[in-house]
Amino acid sequence: MNNKAFGNYKVIPIVHQEGFEPPRPPESADDGMLSLYASHQTIYPRSVSGLFSNWRWGMVWLTQIIFYGLPWLEWGQRQAVLFDLASRRFYIFGLVLYPQDFIYLTGILVISALSLFLFTAVAGRLWCGYACPQTVYTEIFLWIEKKVEGDRSARLRRDAQPWSLDRGMRKSTKHFLWLAVAFWTGFTFVGYFTPIKQHGVDLLQMSMGSWEVFWTFFYGFATYGNAGFMREQVCKHMCPYARFQSAMFDKDTLIVTYDTERGEPRGARSRKADPAQLNLGACVDCSLCVQVCPTGIDIRKGLQYECIGCGACADVCDEVMDKMGYARGLVKYTTEHAMQEHWTQSQTLRHVLRPRILVYTAILATIVIAMVTSLALRKPFRVDVIRDRGVMARVVEAGKIENVYRLQVMNATETDQRFKVTVSGLPGLEVTSDNELTVPAAQARWLVVRTQLPPEVAPPGSHPIKFEIESIDMHVHDAEKSVFLVPQ
């Protein structure tokens, strides 16, 4: 099969299901040596509509309204969502996160990973097919491409022709629109880290900081390159998730599958003909499933590593089946088990709730609940107690023993807070220095605290004590452990 065959798909009868057909012949030299590298063949996906396509577009709208819209929201006097790296503060609506809250990032990553495991175990590469930025932006870019250059067949025809004014105009219009979307994407991305309105003003005045310039154009360029040119190659050769997602498949995972038993032997036929009499299966060999595939594979060869589970072939095949008057579902989401056992759809779905899924769900739910609870119970301030670097302990007037501590108090709210420090853990132990301080909004302050212990109360050595810090305005307590040293 040669590469031009993509245009007018030739029928190759399947003799043996396992017979692999090369996507393109390796370029063989005269000496019988084969190159392990081949130049990339552009794929011209045909546009498709249907249930799964609608789901994907729904996800495109959902994710992109959030992505492009979020930075423009205001919260009081500031941007609602802002990751201020310079001052190390992450603002997310009413929440202000600090470097000390790093555990929540861990939580988000663990939740993301477990969600990926769960979704993949249930229905294959759902993330890839519907929500991954690579898919989402490719979808947006393909839509622009279709509007400007026409659908698959028109694009193929134009690209095969020599350059003309019309073709040049269309190409440059497409690239201009791509670059505009890409630039806006880069601009929005930076808007999460630099207040976006200021960023916009800086852009218009050409006074952006060098990092803002770099990231706006780098992220924009990456969008343009990945969604415009790299497309399926990212999934096939670069993406790490694609490599290990197949390891999460099992016999009850819903995957886009061609029903070989029903479809074969494939062949063209009239709509009025009875396929049983012609000794044909339901597949009319129209090759539309290959044309719509964004990775350029033929789903009828079974599950392949390139398949991103987008369901485009299922959509287009259902359309063809409707036209032919056959039952839908020649290409559908089903499981290996269901194909073997000839289960109905409800039987198939019953097997979704298997131990693996229940375990994933339980762990995921636990972590989500733990994280939400932890965020809800988060103290509005943080305290670190550090024993003084220089002075272990000293004996002061009347033989009292004095220990010095430095307390770092961090105000995690956006209003000023007053704090009071007390100490407990040994009889007669008390704070003898100034024990109140005010910390401005979203700032940290050091307080040097001196504690004194009456003589003869405790034997020489180290004694555990506790500092109690109270936020006077918020009536919240926090306790931090430390030690009090009594010298020999």
Partner 1 sequence: MSDFTSNFWSIYVAGITIVSIVACLLLLILTGKSKGMSTSDNTTGHVWDGDLREMNNPLPRWWAWLFVITIVFSFIYLALYPGLGTYGGKLGWTSVGQHQAEVDKGNAEVAPLYAKFSAMKPEDVAKDAQAMAIGERLFMNNCAQCHGSDARGNKGFPNLTDNDWLGGGTPEIIKADITKGRIAVMPPMAAAVGTAEDVKNLAQYVLSLSGSPHDSVQAALGKEKFAVCAACHGIDGKGNQTLGSANLTDNIWLHGYGEAAIVAMINEGKTNQMPAQADKLTEAQVHVLASYVWGLSNKGGIAAQ
- Minimum CB distance to partner 1, residue 390 (Å): 5
3-state secondary structure of 105: helix
Q: Which residues contact 238 (CB under 8 A, 6 or more apart)?
A: 230
The answer to whether 401 touches 395, Cβ cutoff 8 Å, is: yes
> Which CB atom, from 274 or from 456, has the smaller least distance to partner 1?
456
The answer to whether 88 touches 99, Cβ cutoff 8 Å, is: yes
- Minimum CB distance to partner 1, residue 137 (Å): 20
- Minimum CB distance to partner 1, residue 450 (Å): 6
> Which CB atom, from 64 or from 233, has the smaller least distance to partner 1?
233
> Which CB atom, from 31 or from 74, has the smaller least distance to partner 1?
31
Q: Which residue shows structure tokens 């197949």? A: 246
- Minimum CB distance to partner 1, residue 257 (Å): 20
Other beta carbons within 10 Å of 441: 12
Q: How far is CA 103 from CA 99, 371, 375, in A?
A: 9, 9, 11
> Which CB atom, from 51 or from 238, has the smaller least distance to partner 1?
238
Contact positions toward partner 1, by CB under 8 A?
19-23, 25-26, 28-29, 32-40, 233, 237, 388-391, 394-395, 397, 402, 404, 406, 433, 446, 448, 450
Distance between CA atoms of residues 395 and 401, nearest Å: 5
Handedness of CA 205, 209, 210, 214 (dihedral sign): negative
> Which CB atom, from 102 or from 446, has the smaller least distance to partner 1?
446
The answer to whether 306 touches 287, Cβ cutoff 8 Å, is: no
- Minimum CB distance to partner 1, residue 155 (Å): 21
> Which CB atom, from 268 or from 392, has the smaller least distance to partner 1?
392
Distance between CA atoms of residues 340 and 338, nearest Å: 5
- Minimum CB distance to partner 1, residue 471 (Å): 22
Concatenated DSSP letters for 316-381? HHHHHHHHHTPPS-SEEEE-HHHHHHT--HHHHHHTTS-HHHHHHHHHHHHHHHHHHHHHHT--SE
- Minimum CB distance to partner 1, residue 429 (Å): 17
- Minimum CB distance to partner 1, residue 12 (Å): 13
- Minimum CB distance to partner 1, residue 26 (Å): 6
> Which CB atom, from 84 or from 388, has the smaller least distance to partner 1?
388
Distance between CA atoms of residues 324 and 288, nearest Å: 14
- Minimum CB distance to partner 1, residue 232 (Å): 11
- Minimum CB distance to partner 1, residue 86 (Å): 14
> Which CB atom, from 66 or from 448, has the smaller least distance to partner 1?
448
> Which CB atom, from 18 or from 274, has the smaller least distance to partner 1?
18
Within 13 Å, how many C-alpha atoms sit on residue 488's CB side?
0
Handedness of CA 328, 330, 333, 335 (dihedral sign): positive
> Which CB atom, from 424 or from 443, has the smaller least distance to partner 1?
443
> Which CB atom, from 298 or from 388, has the smaller least distance to partner 1?
388
- Minimum CB distance to partner 1, residue 291 (Å): 21
Q: Is 475 left (phi over 0), alpha (psi -120 to 50) or beta?
A: left
Q: Which residues contact 8 (CB under 8 A, 6 or more apart)?
A: none
- In the chain, the N- to C-terminal Cα span, in Å, equals 91
Distance between CA atoms of residues 381 and 98, nearest Å: 11
Token pair belonging to 328: 């839908």
Q: How far is CA 284 from CA 275, 281, 298, 399, 472, in A?
A: 10, 8, 14, 100, 77
Distance between CA atoms of residues 414 and 431, nearest Å: 28
> Which CB atom, from 244 or from 305, has the smaller least distance to partner 1?
305
Token pair belonging to 244: 């290990």
